[in-house]
Homo-oligomer: A and B are copies of this chain.
Amino acid sequence: MEIDILKELGPLFDPKSVAHIGATNNTNKWGFSTIASLIQTYKGPIYPVNVHEDQIQGLKAYKKVTDIPGPVDLAVFTIPAERVAAVMEDCVQKGVKSAVIISAGFAEVGPEGKKLQDEVLSIARRGNIRFIGPNCMGYWSASSSLAAFMMPLLVRDGPLAFVSQGGNVGAAVVVAGYERGLGFHRYVSCGCAADIQIEDYIEHFGKDPEVKVILAYIEGLNDGVRFMDVVKKVTPTKPVIILKPGKTEAAAKAIKSHSGAMAGSDEIYDAAFKKMGAIRVEDTEEMLDIAVGFLTQPLPKGRYVAIITPGGSYGVLCAQACEEGGLRVVRLPHETIEELDKIFPPRWSRQNPVDPAGDRNFIAYMIAPLKLLELECVDSLIFMGFGGFTLFSNLLMQQRSQQEEKMKPEQVAQRVEAMRAIVPIIEDVKSPDFKKMQSAVRQLLEMLALFMGIKDLTQVVTLADVVVEARRSGKLRDNVVNDVLELANASAQGGSSGRTRAEIINSFIVGLLTALVDQWIASYKKPVITTTFTEEQVKLVGDHYDYTSGKRAARVLLHLTAYHDFLVKTGKNSRI
């Protein structure tokens, strides 16, 4: 009889009540921080269980699980290993449905611990209690806002699900994800995985419609064959991204000591992952980079990439990263070069990577992607952003302010009124008039272009069309439109209120570009990977994500391409 894994693990991820065995006010025990994490997150009834304490962090405590008045769906264990079996018996008697055993001192410490673990397992099996652990850090379930975790965890709800055989690495990924703006539907530190296996979690995540991408950190498997059987059923519908160390002797030794697992032959793992269609990554940064790629980009149909760069050397490094990984930097058709000749100065690179060689016409730079994305031979685009634009526009603003001091007040007032008149037309979402909007956007872009010293305005119409399209599809957000109003008001007051005018203009252009990228992705259904040139940690912007280098962008494209190839091979390319 096949188990319905979604139903089977239901009480674990969505318990109606929680007992915490080993909850305590003693700050030197993990039971202290674990009950705190429960109280901070979970809104259902929490029953601390402790023989010695009556009141724990404001909650009434019980001496035994069987003393608890109401039903208990989940039991959290933070008591010493040797006492877990006895309390698990109580749990069976009480009718507890699921458990997480944070306590350590089981299989990972040797044969004696393994014996204890087997005993606990057999009691739990008898009572139909499915459990996480032992020797784990706990878990997070967004659907019940439940963090039964050893430490406070910075986590938000989202489409990722993650099972980790290392609680610390897992927590680091969850927190890094939080800081990037990414959320987790589930995060499980699986520990020794005595009962629920890593592949069980992956199967469960595969069937849960809330989960879009599955992550796993694996040190060793209890049953490799079963793992392969299960995971290969998941990969055709959802990407499974795996970090598996153990390539070296020192790592294998550290794994044995840490999780008690056998690292196994790295070559065998590598071949198995490939066969299953799982995506193997080298570190946690890559894990999150690829995850966000799957969440925000369509799959590329092939390996031909176009690159647009604000600087030649960026393009060189990006082209190298693409080709080293097996992508092809596409050769541009002659007609495309001629088209780009019309919008860029003669010194532009006239090949892929497309480099306007210091041209500062941002309208041309925003139009060029259209010329590339529309090509049949281009599968994806790496768009390397504006580079030093922010610094430059600050300079421009200083200069402009000096010039404006000489402008007549009527001229300033006229421009302010024009901007104010444009805003409600673009803002209107109730009864939008797209023809009128097109003309308003065009007028706005022309003002901006002239301000930036751009004389050739022939491309403004094309750009205005895309901007209106982005507004129509909700990609161009209200805050970008509001920047125009703020700029008008700041100009009227002489730039004294709140943000400086340079800040508002930067914010507007960044917002506009964000909307355009989202619109390109939606229109052409091809990946558009954007990069920045700082080392600052970057976040989700609009519907996509900026990577900090061409190298990281190339790595993401490579994995997306490989997954597309896998889907085609298994006849499942309809996903895209």
Q: What 1/0 flags go to A385-401 for Cβ under 8 Å of B?
A: 00110011011101110
Report yes or no: B109 in contact with A313, Cβ–Cβ below 8 A: no
Q: How many residues of A contact B (CB 8 A)?
A: 95
Tell me which residues from 268 to 326 in chain A have a Cβ below 8 Å from any Cβ of chain B: 282-285, 310-317, 319-320, 322-324
- Give the shortest distance, in Å, between A286 (CB) and chain B (any CB): 10
Q: Is A15 an interface residue (CB 8 A)?
A: no
**Smallest CB gap from A453: residue in B:** B28
- Give the shortest distance, in Å, between A40 (CB) and chain B (any CB): 9
B residues within 8 A CB of A32?
395, 399
Q: Is A30 an interface residue (CB 8 A)?
A: yes
A455 to B396, CA, bound (A): 63
Contact of A36 among B387, B395, B537 (CB under 8 A): B395
**Smallest CB gap from A255: residue in B:** B316
Q: Is A347 an interface residue (CB 8 A)?
A: yes
B residues within 8 A CB of A251?
316-317, 319-320, 323
A75 to B358, CA, bound (A): 21
- Give the shortest distance, in Å, between A112 (CB) and chain B (any CB): 13
A369 to B551, CA, bound (A): 36
Report yes or no: B324 in contact with A151, Cβ–Cβ below 8 A: no
Report yes or no: A315 in contact with B254, Cβ–Cβ below 8 A: yes
A350 to B26, CA, bound (A): 27
Report yes or no: A250 in contact with B534, Cβ–Cβ below 8 A: no
Q: Is A237 an interface residue (CB 8 A)?
A: no
Q: Is A245 an interface residue (CB 8 A)?
A: yes
B residues within 8 A CB of A154?
391
A455 to B27, CA, bound (A): 12
Interface centre among A33, A150, A219 (most CB of B within 10 A): A33
A551 to B253, CA, bound (A): 18
Given contacts A258-B349, A358-B30, contact A248 B319 (CB under 8 A): yes
Report yes or no: B320 in contact with A248, Cβ–Cβ below 8 A: yes
When all copies of this chain in the complex are counted, the total is 2
**Smallest CB gap from A315: residue in B:** B254
A353 to B166, CA, bound (A): 15
Given contacts A247-B324, A323-B249, contact A350 B30 (CB under 8 A): no
B residues within 8 A CB of A169?
311, 313-314, 317
Report yes or no: A250 in contact with B395, Cβ–Cβ below 8 A: no
A166 to B25, CA, bound (A): 60
- Give the shortest distance, in Å, between A105 (CB) and chain B (any CB): 7
Report yes or no: B360 in contact with A28, Cβ–Cβ below 8 A: yes
Report yes or no: B357 in contact with A104, Cβ–Cβ below 8 A: yes
Stretch at the interface among A173-181, A194-202, A334-342, A519-527: A173-181
Report yes or no: A320 in contact with B247, Cβ–Cβ below 8 A: yes
B residues within 8 A CB of A150?
358
Q: What 1/0 flags go to A5-42 for Cβ under 8 Å of B?
A: 00000000000000000000111101011001000000
Q: Is A355 an interface residue (CB 8 A)?
A: yes
CB within 8 Å of B: which residues of A? 25-28, 30, 32-33, 36, 57, 104-105, 109, 150-154, 164-172, 175-176, 179-180, 217, 219, 245-251, 253-255, 257-259, 282-285, 310-317, 319-320, 322-324, 328-329, 347, 349-353, 355, 357-358, 360, 387-388, 391-392, 394-396, 398-400, 452-455, 533-537, 549, 551
Q: A250-B323, A285-B535 are known; give 4 further A-B pairs, CB within 8 A.
A: A169-B317, A171-B533, A179-B534, A250-B319
